[in-house]
Chain A
Amino acid sequence: MSDPGVDTAARRLMGCHHCGTTWQGAIDGEACGRCGTRLHARKPDSINRTWAYLVAAAILYLPANLLPVMITKSLLGTQQDTILSGVIYFWVSGAYGLAALIFIASFLVPLFKLSALVLLNITAQRRSSWRQLERAKLYRILEVIGRWSMLDVFVVALLAGLVRIQGFAEITAGVGIAAFGAVVVLTMLASLSFDPRLTWDTDADAPAQDMTMDNEPI
């Protein structure tokens, strides 16, 4: 790719995020001539929307981890499990790999996503030029791993549908799983509403000079 690093703003170009067509002299909000999608230089209200989803997700993160996600009724009595008590159960019974998997997918990934998006959003809001390449990579990682947090929702759903043997063993879903599912959906919406291009909108707008420094073989 020759001639890199000139921003669309500098050339008054706008790319359609749906069909990838490039337009010259397009006005924000105008419809793409190829696919009809509204063209926007940046996702509208990206930072505020991302904040709204993040705050909602952070609030629900507490009940998601404190309330029981699964209630097991067996001959031995009733047992209520939270996300972390499920991890501890696997760890104690010797299934270390599985304990680590659930701990990462259900506990670490949502926490990592929340803190990473807060970081990305704050730095984008301040138009910071701090570690832009790393921030771009961080965002791409978030897009890939976010969905895997749904793991526990599916485990509980399947167990609740399967273990329904009256009197012997019965598993029902706890309120915590609803909060947990909401956290996953909200963090996914947060990362979808964040515009990665904001990472490169800095006050020291000199992308052509930065290029040689940021360039790195991939």
Chain B
Amino acid sequence: MTEVPDAIVCEGCDAVYRRVPLRRREVSRCPRCGTELDRHAGDQSARVLPLTVACLILFAIANLFPIVEIELQGLSNQTTLAGAVVALSSEGMSPVALLVLMTTILFPLMQLCILFYLLVPMAYERRPTGFVILVNALQALRPWGMVEVFLLGVLVAIIKLSSLAQVIAGPALWAFVGLTVLLTAVLSFNPRTFWEMAFEPRPGQEG
């Protein structure tokens, strides 16, 4: 088998195209099915590392501090995300607790850590150990991190409670808002770009 460097295969319908150089912010789409073929990476790879670090900091705040506090008849209660997971599993809802733990804590954290681990050595043009497994993991994790859905869930829960008790937003809520915005920017970084960084760029992809 031989590599065909200037060909690009559409993931949506398997049509083959000749790779053409893209200008800044240009995206090429398959004319047959409309699936994205290629995208100019721009200076995105330079921005991803600082954004990842910012995400990790916000992630820590979002998980260490309470998200919301309720007050009812002089009694109050508050919870963190991990607290909600523990409460669920103590009620015999371990599968649901596990699902929440994975989609809101574990998977996003793994994505951020893998990105950090890969991007730091690659800034010095070194290929870190475990590169293949980690890039593949990054791609597999993509659909399963659901921080933005969780944020919407928090807002719905707050509205639901506002008729029952007094609801006070905790510091973690604001961290979640920031985290959602930054994560969207970080995760729009296609893990495929790592392959272009690790090998010499394909024709038309430099610059």
Number of interface residues of B (CB under 8 A): 73
Known: A24-B4, A162-B78. Contact between A18 and B149, CB under 8 A?
no
Mask of A10-50 contacts with B, CB within 8 angstroms, 1/0: 01011101111111111100100111110001000000000
B14–A9 CB distance below 8 A: yes
Which B residues, 121 to 161, have Cβ-Cβ distances below 8 Å to chain A?
132, 135-136, 139, 143-144, 146, 149-150, 152-154, 156-157, 159-161
Question: Which of B13, B15, B88 sits near A196, CB closer than 8 Å?
Answer: B13
Which A residues, 197 to 218, have Cβ-Cβ distances below 8 Å to chain B?
197, 199-200, 207, 210-211, 214-216, 218
Which B residues, 88 to 135, have Cβ-Cβ distances below 8 Å to chain A?
88, 91, 93, 95-97, 99-100, 103-104, 132, 135
CB nearest to A182 among chain B residues? B95
Chain B residues within an 8 Å CB radius of A147:
143, 146, 149
A17–B11 CB distance below 8 A: yes
Chain B residues near A (Cβ < 8 Å): 1-5, 7-9, 11-18, 20, 28-35, 37, 67-68, 70, 72-73, 75, 77-79, 83-88, 91, 93, 95-97, 99-100, 103-104, 132, 135-136, 139, 143-144, 146, 149-150, 152-154, 156-157, 159-161, 163-165, 192, 195, 199
A148–B165 CB distance below 8 A: no
Known: A148-B149, A160-B91. Contact between A5 and B32, CB under 8 A?
yes
C-alpha gap A28/B84 in the complex (Å): 46
C-alpha gap A14/B207 in the complex (Å): 27
Question: Which of A8, A136, A159 sits near B157, CB closer than 8 Å?
Answer: A159
B73–A168 CB distance below 8 A: yes
